[in-house]
Amino acid sequence: MKRKMNKGFTLAELLIVVAIIAVLVAISIPIFTSQLKKARVAVNQANARAGEAAACAAYLENPSYNIIAYDIRSGRVAKSKTNSPTIADNLNISSYSSSANVVSNDISSWNVNTALAENTAYKFGDYYFYRYIYTFNDDGSIKQIQANDNYKKEATAPY
């Protein structure tokens, strides 16, 4: 009598493999999401530091302009004097309020749950922020940092 040659896998073996893969995916998705949020915070911190350097340089050129906006993607700086509602029109920053979107001046303290002052829906772990406004004190120190008006869920050029 000839024996039948069984080739391939049984249904039970395939189901076990699929179940193992599903468990691994279910475990890895929250980890990946957490790492993605941490990466966004790191990018936002680096952008804010770059903007701080540009804003300080612009302030040192002319200290009468104590509100300075910086667009990370274009590298453009816009200057304004106190209480000027038209700050950075050339950067298309649509609204400026001295209390809007204020975040901690200590950039290193930002984390995935750091929210903008007026809008807690926007957190530094959820978005990439590309425009920052720096307000300077009379002594040249930074009074406040605002993440303003241009944010994306996904990174865009030059990243």
Kindly give the pairing relationship between strand 131-136 and strand 128-129: unpaired
In the numeric block, the tokens 């952008």 are attached to 47
Give residues with Cβ within 8 angstroms of 49, minimum separation 6: 107
49: its two tokens: 């530091």
Closest to 133 measured CA to CA, from 61, 63, 58: 58
Rg (CA), the chain: 24
For the chain, 159 residues long, give each residue's pLDDT as a single digit of tens.
566 677 888 999 999 999 999 999 999 999 998 999 999 889 889 989 999 999 999 999 988 888 888 888 878 888 877 655 445 555 555 555 666 677 778 888 888 888 776 667 778 888 888 888 888 888 889 888 888 756 666 665 554
Decide: 68 and 79 in contact? Cβ < 8 Å.
yes
Q: Distance (Å, rounded) from C-alpha 137 to C-alpha 116?
A: 21
pTM over 0.85: no
